[in-house]
Each structure stands twice: as structure tokens, then as C-alpha cells.
């Protein structure tokens, strides 16, 4: 009995996820530059030709992985999608950012080790900027509306604070006080915005 369109779609999505997960692990462990398409296909248990059926190149595969991670991180940003970030939405984004990392710290650890590679940074710089641009605009306007004297500097400070806590957590998930840090960041901004 032939497969239905829905079954074919499901199989395709499963293969794409298998390829991306395999590539992520290899890119993180062996380096993007040192990982061949052949090695990814072999590790995933598929032919090289089938891999190319899903991704035109290793670079496109990398971009897809990065796109997924950035999308996962920003999916809870401005949840009503009105282009304006309220204070409650800002705190919600902080909460959700920590929750997403806590759900799968190993996955995010692999991602961070991948994006710290020089060759990867060169490839993903444009896609990262493109995907983050609208978020940064909304964030800039939010900090400006909260009467921050340097909204751009505040964005960099906030991003560094959040990323730093996340990196510390994925480095030592069993000993880093994630909940306390999340609450400290939220309390810091609640106090700052009262002034």
C-alpha cells in the first residue's frame, strides 16, 4: 500500500531533523570545517545523495540549524506580534529564554560550541543579523520607552547579561542557580524601570 502525502511529509521532516541533529553533533565535536557532508550522511545512516536532496550544501545545512536555534529563542519575544514590547512581555521573554535552555541544556551547549568557531561565525553572521534585526528594533524602542538614557547600550548590557547566565548554565547545569539568576535579572529590571 503506497504511503499517503501526510506519511511522506512526516518521513521527510524526520529525515531533516535527523540530518540537522547529526550535523550539529559533528560540527560541535569535530568542527564545522572538519566535518564533511559524507561523514554527516554516514553518521545519520543515509546516502550522501539523500542528504543533498534535503540540503543543497553544508552551508545551507548550517544556516538551517542556526535559523532553528534563533527562532526557538525569539519565538516568545513580543508574543502578540504587535511590534511593541510591554514590560510584562519583556519579563515573559526572560522567563521563557531560561525555560528553553533548561529544557535541553546539552542541545544548547552543542549550539554554543558550534557558533564560537571562527569559520561558522563568518558564515552565520548575515543570517544572525537578519533574524535578529526586528527583535533589536523592538528591544531598542522598549528601552527607550522605559526612559533608558542609552537604549543601545542597555540592549547590549541586557543581551550580555542574559547570554552570560545562559552560558554559565549550559556549562554547569547541575550547579548553576538558574532560577535564582532568572529572578535576579527580572528584579534588576523591575527596580530599574521604577526609577
Q: What is the CATH number of the domain that holds 4?
A: 1.10.10.60
Mind listing the pLDDT tens digit for each residue in 41-64? 999 999 999 999 999 999 999 989
Give the separation between CA 91 and CA 86, rounded to whole angstroms. Answer: 9
Show which of 55, 81, 100 is a domain's final residue.
55
Give the separation between CA 104 and CA 83, rounded to whole angstroms. Answer: 29
Residues 111 and 165 in one domain: yes
Mind listing the pLDDT tens digit for each residue in 123-181? 888 878 877 888 889 999 999 999 999 999 999 999 999 999 999 998 888 899 999 99
User: In this structure, what C-alpha cell is assigned to residue 57?
Assistant: 550544501
Going by the DSSP 8-state scheme, the letter that residue 159 receives in this structure is H
Show which of 15, 31, 55 is a domain's final residue.
55
Model-level pTM greater than 0.75?
Answer: yes
Q: Domain total for the chain? A: 2
Amino acid at each position: 500500500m503506497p504511503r499517503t502525502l501526510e506519511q511522506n511529509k512526516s518521513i521527510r521532516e524526520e529525515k531533516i531533523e535527523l540530518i540537522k541533529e547529526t550535523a550539529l553533533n559533528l560540527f560541535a565535536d569535530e568542527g564545522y570545517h572538519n566535518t564533511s557532508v559524507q561523514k554527516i550522511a554516514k553518521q545519520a545512516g543515509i546516502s550522501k545523495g539523500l542528504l543533498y536532496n534535503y540540503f543543497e550544501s553544508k552551508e545551507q545545512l548550517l544556516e538551517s540549524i542556526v535559523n532553528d536555534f534563533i527562532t526557538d529563542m525569539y519565538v516568545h519575544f513580543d508574543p502578540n506580534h504587535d511590534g511593541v514590547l510591554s514590560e510584562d512581555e519583556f519579563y515573559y521573554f526572560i522567563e521563557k529564554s531560561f525555560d528553553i535552555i533548561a529544557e535541553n541544556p546539552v542541545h544548547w551547549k552543542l549550539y554554543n560550541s558550534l557558533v564560537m568557531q571562527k569559520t561558522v561565525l563568518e558564515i552565520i553572521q548575515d543570517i544572525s543579523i537578519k533574524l535578529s534585526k526586528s527583535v533589536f528594533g523592538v528591544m531598542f524602542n522598549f528601552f527607550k520607552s522605559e526612559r533608558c538614557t542609552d537604549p543601545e547600550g542597555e540592549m547590549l548590557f541586557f543581551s550580555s547579561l542574559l547570554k552570560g547566565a545562559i552560558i554559565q548554565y549550559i556549562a554547569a547545569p547541575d550547579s548553576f542557580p538558574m532560577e535564582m539568576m532568572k529572578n535576579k535579572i527580572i528584579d534588576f529590571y523591575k527596580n530599574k524601570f521604577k526609577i
